[in-house]
Amino acid sequence: MEILFCGVCHSDVHTVRNEWLGTTYPCVPGHEIIGRVTRVGNQVRNFKEGEIVGAGCLVDSCRTCASCKVDLEQFCEAGAIFTYNSPDKHSGGITYGGYSDSIVVDEAFVLAVPQNLDPAAAAPLLCAGITTYSPLKHHKVTKGQKVGVVGLGGLGHMGVKLAKAFGAHVVVFTTSLNKVEDALRLGADEVVHSKDEAAMKRHLNSCHFILDTVAAKHDLNAYLVMLRRDGTLTQVGVPSEPLAVDVSNLIFGRRNLSGSLIGGLKETQEMLIFCGQHNVTADIELIPIQQINAAYDRLVKSDVKYRFVIDMASLKQAS
C-alpha cells in the first residue's frame, strides 16, 4: 500500500528516543497508517487495488494461541508482532512502520476505512481510537451511564468523543483550566478541574466507568473514589513510574482497577465501522515529515490539539 497519512503517537517518541530501552536502530516509527492499495497477492480476497485502507499497531501474531483464537491478537501469547521495532519473522531484522512511502501488510492485518471519514483524521483511530474504544466496549458502557475521562490529550479527546457516541454522560477531569472550553466542544457534558477539591467532592461515588489516559505520575486514588459501587477505572496511559493504590478505595465499594491495550483486528474493524456510523475522527494538525522533530518536542509539552498526522506527500516532494 502507498502510505498517504500516518499519525504520530507518543509511543513513537518513546521508541525513537529509546526511552523504553528496547529500540533497534535504524528505526522507522508509525502505526497509525492510512494508505491506498497498489497491489494485491493472488490469495487476497477482501481488498483490491485503489481502495483506501488502514494498518494499525499490529502486523502479525501466532494466530494459534488462546488469545489469537478469540481475536485478541494484541495479547498473543507467542508475542504480537508490532508494526515497527518488532522482530520480522518473514524478512528477518525488524519491522518498519508508517513514516515511509509504502508498506507491505498481510491481508489479515489490514483494515477497511469507511468512505465518509476524512482519511487524515481517521489515521489516529488506528491507535488512539482503538485504545479508548476497546475498554469502553469491554466494560459495556452504554446510554445513561456516567463516564469519567481523566486527561484531555491524544487519547483523552478520543475517549470523550467515543464515550459520548456510546450514549454516556461524559465528565472530563483535567488539571488544565484552559481545556474546559475544548472539552465541552468535543462532547463532554461536564468538566471538573481536578485541583478543585469542592468540585471533585461533588462527583464522589458517581461514575460507572472511568477511562484514565494520563501517562504521567498522578494520584489514582483521587479518581477511584469517584467510582460508584462495582465501578471500574481502566488505565490506558502508561506512566513512567509506578502508581500507588490505596487498596481500601477498592475494597470499600467493590471497585475495580484494570488496564487495556489497543485491540485485536476484529475489534479495530468494529471501531472503524462505529466511527463511520457516528462520524467520529480525531482532531488533528497535519504536518510535513520535515517537521517531525519539532512535532515530537511539542508533543512532549502537550502542545497539540490533539494529534499530529504526517502528510506523506511531503516525503515524495522531498525526494
pLDDT at residue 315 in the model: 75
Tell me the average pLDDT across 195-209.
95
What's the confidence (pLDDT) of residue 11?
A: 92
Matching fold, domains 2-127+282-318 and 129-259: no
At 10-67, the pLDDT tens digits run 999 999 999 888 999 999 999 999 999 999 999 999 999 999 999 999 999 999 999 9
Cell of 97: 512502520
Every domain of the chain and the residues it spans = 2-127+282-318, 129-259
pLDDT confidence of residue 280: 97
Q: What string of H, E and C letters represents the secondary structure of 36-91?
A: ECCCCCCCCCCCCCCCEEEECCEEECCCCCHHHHCCCHHHCCCCCEECCCCECCCC
- Considering the four listed CATH numbers 3.40.50.720, 3.40.630.10, 1.10.1060.10, 3.40.50.300, the one that applies to the domain covering 129-259 is 3.40.50.720
Only one residue has cell 454516556, namely 168
Mean pLDDT of the chain: 95
Domain boundaries 2-127+282-318, corresponding CATH code: 3.90.180.10
Look-up of cell digits 508482532:
81
| Residues 89 and 243 sit within 8 Å (Cβ to Cβ) | no
- pLDDT tens for each residue of 98-127: 999 999 999 999 999 999 999 999 999 999
Question: For residue 295, what pLDDT band results from cuts at 50, 70 and 90?
Answer: very high
With a CB cutoff of 8 Å and minimum separation 6, the contacts of 316 are 101
CA-wise closest residue to 194 among 173, 167, 163, 224: 173
Report how far residue 128's alpha carbon sits from residue 279's, in angstroms, rounded to the nearest whole number: 16
Per-residue pLDDT averaged across 179-183, rounded?
92
Q: Which of the four pLDDT bands, split at 50, 70 and 90, describes residue 283?
A: very high
- Express as a percent the part of the chain with pLDDT over 70: 99
In this prediction, residue 2 carries a pLDDT of: 97
pTM across the whole model: 0.94
Question: CB-based contacts of 160: which residues, under 8 Å, 6+ apart?
Answer: 149, 152, 170, 172, 183, 186, 187, 188
Predicted confidence band of residue 199 (pLDDT cuts 50, 70, 90)? very high
pLDDT score, position 313: 84
In this predicted model, what pLDDT tens digit does every residue of 218-270 receive, in sequence order? 999 999 999 999 999 999 998 888 999 999 999 999 999 999 999 999 999 99
Helices (H), 80-205: 119-122, 128-138, 154-165, 180-186, 197-201
